[in-house]
Amino acid sequence: MIRINLMAVERDRARRRFSIGIDLGQKFTLACGAIFVVVVAVVVWQVVSVRGETIRLDEQLVSVNQELASMSDVVERRNEFETRSAELARRVALIEELRAGEAGPGRMLDEISRGLPDGVWLTELRQEGPDISIFGQATTLTALSDMVVALESSGYFVLPVEIIDGQLETQEAGEVVRFELRAEFRLPSS
């Protein structure tokens, strides 16, 4: 008896139907098409991720610009404070310089007034730099010499304090000595 396996024939025919329709050129075209689809998908994915990165970087740029704007205000205020500080330092230095210069004449007058003994009065006082000319009258030569000694011992006048002129004059109240002294005033070093 002959057996015919019809099932197997139908299987081969089914296989042949599929294999008959696809030749080597079509397989190559399908492979290229699949590669193209994959490449397009990768490119689309890259474009989407680059756009997302661009959006994120734009947001960071906006925040950095805002920080920069706020920092520019801070820098501007800092520069303003530095300018004020420099101006105040200059003013303080000027005030200290004026005070130092102020101490000299005040101290000089104080030392001269302390050195005035009884019977001596001043008529004129001139200062040209450190040089001082003192004009006045004394009732006696002893009172005049006491004044010279007091000025020299004060430590504020360079030695010697010179008597430039001394003339005895007669006035209604009696005799007086009209005098001129020269001295050099200096503040003692600290």
Reported as a pLDDT band with limits 50, 70 and 90, residue 39 is very high
The structural domain count of the chain equals 2
**Whole-structure pTM value:** 0.46
Average of per-residue pLDDT values in the chain: 84
Which of 114, 144, 172 terminates a domain? The answer is: 114
- The reported pLDDT for the residue numbered 109 is 83
Are residues 110 and 133 located together in one domain of the fold? no
Asked if the structure places residue 190 within a domain, the reply is no
3-class SS letters over the chain: CCCCCHHHHHHHHHHHHHHHHCCHHHHHHHHHHHHHHHHHHHHHHHHHHHHHHHHHHHHHHHHHHHHHHHHHHHHHHHHHHHHHHHHHHHHHHHHHHHHHHHHHHHHHHHHHHHCCCCCEEEEEEEEECCEEEEEEEECCHHHHHHHHHHHHHCCCEEEEEEEEEEEEEEECCEEEEEEEEEEEECCCCC
Reported as a pLDDT band with limits 50, 70 and 90, residue 79 is very high
Are residues 109 and 28 located together in one domain of the fold? yes
Whether pLDDT at 19 is above 60: no
Percentage of the chain exceeding pLDDT 90: 35
Are residues 151 and 136 located together in one domain of the fold? yes
Domain that holds residue 105: 1-114
- The reported pLDDT for the residue numbered 136 is 93
Asked if the structure places residue 26 within a domain, the reply is yes
Are residues 62 and 5 located together in one domain of the fold? yes
